[in-house]
């Protein structure tokens, strides 16, 4: 795999000739919606893996060949322009793409519980270890508010993805400090909540529980640790995993309601793994900035690996970008954009895409039909590769995407080049 940054005058035909790669492979690897329109500064994956030839023997199957070489079935299908229904036969020569790949766990959140969400899972399920449908919530009496997750759980099972039930302290769409305090300060209500959660997990086939408790009062720090230990003790008896999402701290004394009650050291000991929410520096209500500047992500990891075992850390990766109106005005909010929408916008307004070397993130500016100026930060193959390089640099357990609805083709191509996904089911 190579990443090519589009220059003025580039065409797909010329690139295919230069790299000696079929033009359709470039289109497919990048999910190009309009192959005839390239944007200066746009990153393109050029699928030129190291290749070996395998002669099919009697009894061979695509899964057995993939296992033999430590690659995915999908990569063999792509390299040979086959689909899952294509037969293979003894004596046939198959191209097998090979690379040195680290085995990791991969999680993704999803908020789409519809049949469309299930199709998204079916399309990319081979790249995921876990799926975390967002989200179950609860009331102050320990009652759990359920979601209609039947379709996506069925899709997860078909793709051998381990589903994790996410429990968040959301009320009316916002994280509620009082809601979680009501539970953390009353052990009897904790027992009620845990019992209710366990019943749902057993009935629906969840394999683990993942907490997303945010804006916990600082005085409930030890209560939260004790609650997590109580949950782990009960759920481990039934072989359920327990994990939690953590805000991006750079030291234990970091001030702010989002951070103070989150004890990296304690949770690193108690939980099976944690998900670091290493994104949202460029948040909707703030000024334009990369969503996950790699220099800031590394600051978080530098602290995290001193408090939490590396084999328990998932690094969060955003699959979305944002479009801000500029000059930015306090009280205004950016809108979320996907990778594809960002590229379409740049093409529409003739904007050139730039790449911030410190943040390792693409961005551009444009002026719309009303004369309003905009600044867009998003993710592409380069920024995703930079994050994967960081995962390998720190030797951590895995990655966690937010969120599947914003996923783009380049993500999975780059992931497959770098990592072998750990499947638990």
Dihedral sign for Cα 109, 405, 135, 179, please.
Answer: positive
**List of residues 6+ apart from 152 with CB closer than 8 A:** 110, 112, 113, 117, 118, 121, 131, 133, 163
Judge whether 376 and 323 are in contact, CB under 8 Å: yes
Gap between the Cα atoms of 84 and 369, Å rounded: 46
Q: Which two tokens stand for residue 221?
A: 């720090």
Assess contact for 401 and 65: CB atoms under 8 A.
no
Q: Could you confirm whether 405 is annotated as catalytic? A: no
Question: 33, 105, 120, 214: which one is catalytic?
Answer: 214
Question: Exposed (0-12), middle (13-18) or buried (19+): which is 240, by Cβ within 10 Å?
Answer: buried
Are 301 and 275 spatial neighbours (Cβ–Cβ below 8 Å)? no
| DSSP summary character for residue 385 | H
229 — phi, psi (to 5°)?
-65, -40
Q: How far is 145 from 170, CA to CA, in rounded Å?
A: 10
Token pair in block for residue 19: 């790299």
CB of 316 closer than 8 Å to CB of 294: no
Rounded Cα distance between 209 and 270, Å, is 13
- Residue among 147, 115, 116 nearest 132 (CA): 147
Report, as residue numbers or ranges, the catalytic residues.
214
């Amino acid at each position: 795999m190579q990443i090519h940054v589009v220059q003025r005058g580039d065409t797909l035909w010329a690139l295919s000739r230069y790299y000696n790669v079929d033009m359709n492979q470039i289109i497919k690897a990048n999910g190009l919606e309009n192959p005839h329109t390239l944007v200066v500064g746009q990153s393109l994956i050029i699928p030129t893996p190291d290749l070996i030839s395998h002669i099919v023997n009697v009894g061979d199957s695509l899964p057995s060949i993939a296992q033999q070489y430590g690659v995915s079935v999908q990569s063999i299908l792509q390299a040979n322009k086959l689909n899952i229904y294509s037969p293979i036969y003894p004596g046939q020569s198959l191209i097998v793409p090979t690379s040195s790949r680290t085995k990791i766990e991969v999680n993704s959140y999803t908020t789409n519980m519809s049949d469309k969400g299930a199709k998204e899972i079916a399309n990319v399920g081979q790249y995921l270890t876990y799926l975390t449908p967002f989200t179950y919530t609860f009331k102050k009496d320990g009652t759990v508010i359920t979601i209609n997750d039947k379709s996506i759980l069925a899709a997860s099972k078909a793709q051998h993805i381990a589903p994790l039930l996410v429990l968040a302290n959301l009320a009316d769409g916002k994280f509620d400090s009082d809601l979680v305090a009501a539970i953390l300060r009353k052990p009897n209500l904790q027992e009620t909540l845990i019992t209710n959660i366990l019943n749902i997990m057993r009935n629906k086939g969840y394999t683990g529980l993942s907490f997303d408790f945010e804006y916990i009062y600082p005085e409930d720090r030890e209560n939260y640790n004790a609650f997590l230990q109580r949950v782990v003790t009960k759920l481990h008896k039934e072989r359920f995993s327990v994990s939690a999402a953590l805000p991006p701290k750079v030291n234990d004394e970091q001030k702010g309601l989002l951070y103070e009650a989150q004890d990296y050291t304690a949770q690193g000991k108690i939980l099976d793994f944690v998900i670091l929410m290493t994104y949202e520096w460029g948040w909707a209500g703030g000024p334009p900035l990369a969503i996950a500047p790699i220099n800031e992500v590394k600051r978080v990891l530098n602290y995290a690996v001193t408090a939490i075992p590396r084999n328990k850390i998932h690094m969060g990766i955003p699959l979305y970008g944002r479009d801000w109106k500029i000059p930015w005005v306090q009280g205004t909010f950016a809108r979320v954009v996907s990778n594809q929408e960002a590229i379409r916008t740049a093409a529409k307004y003739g904007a050139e895409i730039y790449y911030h070397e410190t943040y390792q993130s693409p961005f551009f500016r444009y002026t719309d039909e009303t004369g309003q100026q905009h600044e867009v930060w998003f993710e592409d193959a380069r920024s995703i590769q930079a994050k994967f390089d960081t995962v390998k640099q720190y030797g951590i357990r895995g990655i966690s995407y937010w969120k599947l609805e914003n996923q783009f083709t380049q993500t999975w191509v780059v992931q497959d080049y770098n990592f072998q996904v750990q499947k638990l089911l």
